[in-house]
Amino acid sequence: MLDEAWTQLVDESGGTWPPSPSRQFPSPLDKLHELALEAPNVFSRPDYASMKHDDIKANRAWLVERLQPTDEVLTALRSLNQHQILGMAACMSTLAHMYRWGSVPTLTAAQEEKRNHLPNMILAAQMYLNGRLGIRSTGGTITTLSLCNYDRERDVIYYSMTKNFTPDIIAAELWNAKLFHEMERIAEPFYRSVVQLADDVIGRGKDSTALEEGNEAIRQAFAYFYKYLKEPTVSKAVWSRYAQGFHGWSWDGFEGVSGDQAVMVRVMDALLGIPPTSPPTHLTKGQRDFVDTLRTANIRQRAVAEGFPLATKSINDTLRMLKTWRMGHVKKACFYEDIHLPERKPMSGGKGTDADLGLEGMVARIQMRLQTRTALTR
């Protein structure tokens, strides 16, 4: 059962983990791909301080003019293989966020809009692609905007919104996705070891050391996080305004990209029986099914109940690493969010309706939420 869920997750990701998107598309999707590559030349503006709502409207009009007929787009989408679906999901999510925010960095004027309707073509394509992947949102997610948008070969963000900005801004956007991608890549043996652990403990009713290898992978993934999530790799002065805002700030009731969609952390929580942070709206079907199947298997309880010392010890080692990481992450999260951004409005952020509490209140609320997660990690 868990092995089947893992196979499905990997199939959905194009046969690899993390996912392997393709950037070769049939017409007219190739035109949308070119559009997403070209758009930052119009949308990303160093002179944003002087920009007004009319500039946002002009950018959107420029984008809409270059969209393609909806029926042709849908016909082409139906012909894609899984690698192309993943690549298009990155492209279309970028176009959706571009239309929504109308500029990079995002402006107060865009945040003040109460509702925003995506053009039919973008909405239809997003619904098709997110539907194919089982994502229950109209926006971008860690999978589409981060995992599928990082080009490991060239070490760049494929559909970058910052390519015309200064190196610190480009780096913040890069690392905002690269961290998630690379941590998943490093952590990949963890997933396979969890499948083996389930097979040993549940399937064969025997003790297991399978998780030891997975724990080593997790240790390395967290070491990567500690090594790179800091100044100057990720500059606090620019991270939220130029990288997180465009990806993460929400609309129409959906949040955008949030760390709590990180699959490895969701899987660790499921293994340990820790309640999920939020509904799995932004996970793909394969990710959601894997997490659910693992949670239902109750491996931790079974290992203790059956008196399997080796499995129990390795599960406790996973717990210790996750708890230590969460304690470190609270500090990182508060450090990076603790910056005055006039454009950060109540509607923005994953659960960031707290921007109306003022900066101190908002950071205190984030700290409280993350400390609660840390306390639940037991």
CB nearer to ligand HEM: pick between 136 and 332: 332
Q: Of the candidates 200, 272, 350, 362, which one interacts with ligand HEM according to CB under 6 A? A: 350
Show the binding pattern over residues 182-201: x = contacts ligand HEM (CB under 6 A), - = does not: -x------------------
**Measured between alpha carbons, how far is 120 from 107 in angstroms, rounded to an integer?**
24
Residue in 56, 59, 128, 43 with CA at minimum distance from that of residue 93:
128
Show the binding pattern over residues 32-71: x = contacts ligand HEM (CB under 6 A), - = does not: ----------------------------------------
| Residue 366 engages ligand HEM in binding (rule: CB under 6 A) | yes
Q: Of the candidates 5, 77, 218, 234, which one interacts with ligand HEM according to CB under 6 A? A: 234
Q: Of the candidates 180, 190, 246, 251, which one interacts with ligand HEM according to CB under 6 A? A: 180
Residue in 191, 158, 150 with CA at minimum distance from that of residue 287:
191
**Measured between alpha carbons, how far is 348 from 207 in angstroms, rounded to an integer?**
47
Q: Of the candidates 306, 326, 338, 339, which one interacts with ligand HEM according to CB under 6 A? A: 326
Which runs of consecutive H residues, i.e. helices, occur in the chain? Answer: 2-12, 29-38, 40-43, 53-65, 70-78, 82-101, 108-111, 120-133, 167-198, 211-228, 236-238, 245-248, 263-272, 285-297, 299-305, 309-337, 358-376
Q: What is the DSSP string of 17-65?
A: SS--------TTHHHHHHHHHHTHHHHB-TTGGG--HHHHHHHHHHHHH
- Any residues with CB less than 8 A from the CB of 273 and at least 6 apart, and which? 295, 298, 300, 301
- Residue count at the site for ligand HEM (CB under 6 A)? 27
CB nearer to ligand HEM: pick between 105 and 349: 349
**Measured between alpha carbons, how far is 323 from 321 in angstroms, rounded to an integer?**
5
Query: Closest residue (Cβ) to ligand HEM?
Result: 259
Q: Of the candidates 66, 163, 219, 369, which one interacts with ligand HEM according to CB under 6 A? A: 369
| Residue 225 engages ligand HEM in binding (rule: CB under 6 A) | yes
Of 28-36, 287-295, 298-306, 344-352, the window that binds ligand HEM (rule: CB under 6 A) is 344-352
Binding to ligand HEM in span 236-295, by CB under 6 A: 258-260, 262, 265, 277
Residues that bind ligand HEM (CB under 6 A): 176, 179-180, 183, 225, 229, 234, 258-260, 262, 265, 277, 326, 329, 332-333, 336-337, 349-352, 366, 369-370, 373
